[in-house]
């Protein structure tokens, strides 16, 4: 799965937790979950759990700590997928 | 320095399903999960601990400039049978003291790094649509917004 495909999956995952339709439509690496997408901090846990289910990966606490924007989230998913695949 | 966090309990009910598999394990340490599972009203304890973590993080984040999503690093201490409203949160060797107000509509927590200053913090809570339009002009020390509620702490 490449970066664009991961971002497109993320868009679907985040959609139920963000009312910022415009910001969500134009997400890129710099999009911040809380500042730009106005995701409630208690729903960030849901996003992490949805990512685990969708990509069949496990996100540890240190990785979750960095998951505040699209860029670091994509990097974490890419790394975990690589570990799983390798 | 002051921190605060408000939870609109009606909105939290529909917005978050903490009973979802894996949810509590991502947010709360073992002691905190024990407090939740042994509570008469686990819903209140979930949001009480959550707001304590948020209120403490808001100070910690400003003091250290660290932005991270690590709710489990914030360790909450309360004495549930004695007083739910007074607590303490530890993170990376720092201690924050908390005081919460709980009713059926909302749960609000204030935090301070100095224990005796917690009672000097002034709180204004507004229910929509009665939010003051220029509340930032009031120079609050911390602002929290959730659902119908706006909470300012000075």
- CATH assignment of the domain containing A16: 1.10.1200.10
Looking at beta carbons, which residues of chain A come within 8 Å of B107? none
How far is CA B97 from each of CA A5, B75, B116, B125, rounded to the nearest angstrom?
Answer: 44, 12, 9, 20
Distance from CA of B44 to the nearest CA of A (A): 15
User: B32 lies in a domain?
Assistant: yes
pLDDT at A44: 97
Chains A–B, number of C-beta pairs less than 8 Å apart: 45
User: B143 lies in a domain?
Assistant: no
Contact B68 A65 (CB under 8 A): yes
CB contact residues (below 8 A), chain B span 69-88, against chain A: 69-73
Q: Is B134 on the interface with A (CB under 8 A)?
A: no
Which tokens go with B57?
């993080």
User: B141 lies in a domain?
Assistant: no
pLDDT category of residue A78 using cuts at 50, 70 and 90: very high
pLDDT at A85: 76
- The domain tally of chain A equals 1
Write out the H or E segment, with its range, that includes residue A63. helix A61-66
CA A22, CA B153: separation in Å to the nearest integer? 32
Q: Could you list the residue range(s) of the whole structural domain that residue A7 is in? A: 3-85
User: B114 lies in a domain?
Assistant: yes
Q: Is A65 on the interface with B (CB under 8 A)?
A: yes
Task: Kindly give the parts of chain B with pLDDT less than 70.
Answer: none
Report pLDDT digits (tens) over A32-55: 999 999 999 999 999 999 999 999
User: B147 lies in a domain?
Assistant: no
pLDDT at B122: 96
Contact B68 A41 (CB under 8 A): no
Look at residues B94, B145, B153 and name the one whose alpha carbon lies nearest to residue B119.
B153
CATH number at residue B16: 3.90.470.20
Torsion over CA: B22, A48, B20, B146 (sign): positive
Contact B69 A52 (CB under 8 A): no
Q: Is A47 on the interface with B (CB under 8 A)?
A: no
User: B51 lies in a domain?
Assistant: yes
User: B62 lies in a domain?
Assistant: yes
Please list, in sequence order, all residues whose beta carbon lies within 8 angstroms of the beta carbon of residue B22, skipping any fewer than 6 positions away.
Answer: A49, A52
pLDDT at A86: 59
A3-14 and A41-55 are packed helices; what angle lies between their axes, rounded to 10 degrees? 130
- The domain tally of chain B equals 1
CA B146, CA B126: separation in Å to the nearest integer? 11
Q: Could you list the residue range(s) of the whole structural domain that residue B72 is in? A: 2-120
User: B89 lies in a domain?
Assistant: yes
pLDDT category of residue A83 using cuts at 50, 70 and 90: confident
Question: Residue A41: exposed, middle, or buried by beta-carbon count in 10 A (0-12, 13-18, 19+)?
Answer: middle
| Best B26, B56, B68, B109 residue to mutate vs chain A (most A CBs within 10 Å) | B26
How far is CA B74 from each of CA B88, B96, B119, rounded to the nearest angstrom?
Answer: 10, 10, 22
């Amino acid at each position: 799965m490449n970066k664009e495909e991961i971002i497109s999956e993320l868009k679907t995952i985040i959609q139920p937790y963000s009312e910022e339709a415009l910001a969500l439509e134009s997400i890129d690496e710099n999009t911040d979950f809380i500042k730009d997408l106005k995701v409630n901090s208690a729903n960030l846990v849901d996003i992490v759990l949805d990512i685990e289910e969708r990509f069949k990966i496990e996100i540890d606490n240190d990785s979750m700590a960095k998951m505040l924007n699209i860029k670091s989230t994509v990097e974490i998913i890419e790394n975990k997928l690589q570990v799983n695949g390798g | 320095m002051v921190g605060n966090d408000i939870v609109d309990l009606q909105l939290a009910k529909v917005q978050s399903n903490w009973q979802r598999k894996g949810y509590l394990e991502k947010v709360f340490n073992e002691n905190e999960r024990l407090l939740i599972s042994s509570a008469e009203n686990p819903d209140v304890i979930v949001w009480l601990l959550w707001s304590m973590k948020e209120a403490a993080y808001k100070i910690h984040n400003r003091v250290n400039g660290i932005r991270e999503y690590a709710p489990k690093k914030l360790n909450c201490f309360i004495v549930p049978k004695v007083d739910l409203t007074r607590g303490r949160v530890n993170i990376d060797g720092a201690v924050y003291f908390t005081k919460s107000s709980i009713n059926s509509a909302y749960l609000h927590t204030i935090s301070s790094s100095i224990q005796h200053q917690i009672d000097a913090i002034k709180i204004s809570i507004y229910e929509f649509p009665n939010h003051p339009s220029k509340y930032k002009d009031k120079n609050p020390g911390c602002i929290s917004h959730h659902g119908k509620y706006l909470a300012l702490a000075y």
